[in-house]
Each structure stands twice: as C-alpha cells, then as structure tokens.
Amino acid sequence: MSTTVAVIGLGIMGAPMAANLIKAGFEVIGYNRSRPKVEALIKAGGRGADTLAEAVAAAEVIITMVPDSPDVEAVTEADDGILAGARNGALWIDCSTIRPDVATRLADAARERRLRPLDAPVSGGEAGAIEGTLSIMVGGEAADFEAARPVLDAVGGTVVHVGPSGAGQTVKAANQLIVAGTIELVAEALVFVEAHGVDPEAAVSVLAGGLAGNRILDRKAASMIKREFQPGFRIDLHHKDLGIVLAAAREAGVAIPLGAHTAQLVQALRQLGHGDLDHSALLLLVEQLSGRGDR
C-alpha cells in the first residue's frame, strides 16, 4: 500500500498500533514527544518525524493517540499542528479518549480546513493493541469511515460506525463506565471468595463459563489473583475517563449512580498513590476496605 499514515503519540497504545500498520503494508511515520519511542518505531520499519509539522505534512491519514482532550486540542490547533499543516482531503482519525463535545468541535474545525475527521476511540487495552484486535467505535461521516476502513481494520478486530462526529467518544464513555464497574465487581468477588477460603482460580474458571462470564475475568482475573498490576491501562487514565462520563451524563440529565460510586472508588485509589497501576488494582482498595490488604 502506498498510503502514508502519521501516528501522533507512540505510547502504550500508539506504538503497537503503529507496528500493526507497518505489518499491514502502510508507510508509517511517527511522532512522539520523547525520541526513544520514535527510534523504536524506526527499528520496526517505520519512519520518524522530528516535528509534529513534519509528520502531519507527509501523511494522507493522520492518527492521534494522546492522553486527554487538551492534548488533542494542542496537536490539532497548534501553529504546527493538524489544522495548520495537513494536506487537503487528509483523513484525521483521533483514537484518543476525549470529551464528546471537544470531538465535535474539533471535527467541525477540521471540516472547515477540508479535512475528513473521525473520532475513533479504542477499547481492548495494550493486549488488544498488540494483537490488532481492538474494538473501535467511530463517529463521523459514513463516506469518511469507509475510506478509513483499511487503516482501522489493520489495528482493530471490531470496527463499527456508530454515528456522527462525537458519537464514537460517547460510546467510548459508555465503554469505560462498563469496564470500571465490572473491574470493581470482579475485585469484590475475588476478595469475597478468598475470604471464605475458596481457591480464586477455581472460582474464576467456573464463573467465566456462566452468566457472570466477561472480558475482565478473561483478561484481568489471573493477574489480579497474583496481585500483578503492571499497567495496560492506568488508574490515572481511567480516572480521567470517568470524569468524561460524569460530565456527559450530567449534561444529558442521565443518572448513573453505580458509575458515580465507582468513579469515587477510582479516585480514592488514585489518591492513595496508585494512579500509575493498572485499573485492575481496584482490588487493592477492596482489600483495604475489607481490612485484608497490606497496602
């Protein structure tokens, strides 16, 4: 394929996504604030850009994967950013998780610059990014979505157009609501069975095969049982995402009582100094509240 894809942000998610694009035959140019990430991309067969402007100008497709709304605004609206430097007709696919209203505003600004914007946040964590099996929820024009399908299919296993600009971020907010609540319930269940002297691995094996089965049990339970919380998705980021959920729910007048309580638990764990751990570390808070943990 001759299409050049610029990937802006080569972190836990962006780097493996860029690697999968290279494997799929795209020419990939990467930009990251820290140079070692760019050097790793070059070793994987990509090209490195020294500046944001260089990466943006070289690409027919631009993917942004940065932490938060202000970061997307910065790479989009900067003097050397996407709006200023992208070529007419370029596809801009924002895979970050940001506020739906910000996604909509930036999409409108991009269209004024004759760009084709899509908000396409992803779910699946680091493992999904490495495996190329991410679930991608896409907001934007249907024709732009179809044009972006080859790129999206190279990094995702489930790719769905969910509506106009901002819809992708709305669905991602719902995703983060479900994921946080499920992790909390899995954590409570594990502490509960252990407190009764039941082998948690045996418990998980049967729970996963019944109506309680879910992706969190499949992907997170084993490491939770071992108390291994190397971040695939940090508490700090899920705290940010739940802030997006709460704000969007308030704006729409929607009650999310369990989600609001889970957001408080995530915030409490973060304030205890565990923001850099994986979000499955909610188990530590359940243990502490139960008087069973050392941390």
Tell me the C-alpha distance between 52 and 152, whole Å.
Answer: 22
| pLDDT at residue 101, as a whole number | 95
- In the chain, where do the E strands start and end? 4-8, 27-31, 47-48, 61-64, 91-94, 116-119, 122-123, 134-140, 156-163
Tell me the C-alpha distance between 97 and 167, whole Å.
Answer: 12
Helices (H), 253-291: 257-269, 282-289
pTM of the model: 0.92
Q: Collect all residues with Cβ–Cβ distance below 8 Å to 36 and sequence separation of at least 6.
A: none
Whether 149 has a pLDDT exceeding 80, the answer reads yes
pLDDT classification of 294: cutoffs 50, 70, 90? low
User: What does the block give as tokens for 270?
Assistant: 């973060």
pLDDT classification of 232: cutoffs 50, 70, 90? confident
Averaged pLDDT of the chain: 96
pLDDT in tens, 160-178: 999 999 999 999 999 999 9
Other Cβ atoms within 10 Å of 272 Cβ, number: 14
pLDDT in tens, 62-79: 999 999 999 999 999 999
Using DSSP's 3-state secondary structure scheme, residue 34 falls into coil
Catalytic residue set = 172
Domains of the chain, first to last: 4-163 (3.40.50.720), 170-289 (1.10.1040.10)
3 state SS for 50-114: CCHHHHHHCCCEEEECCCCHHHHHHHHHCCCCHHHHCCCCCEEEECCCCCHHHHHHHHHHHHHCC
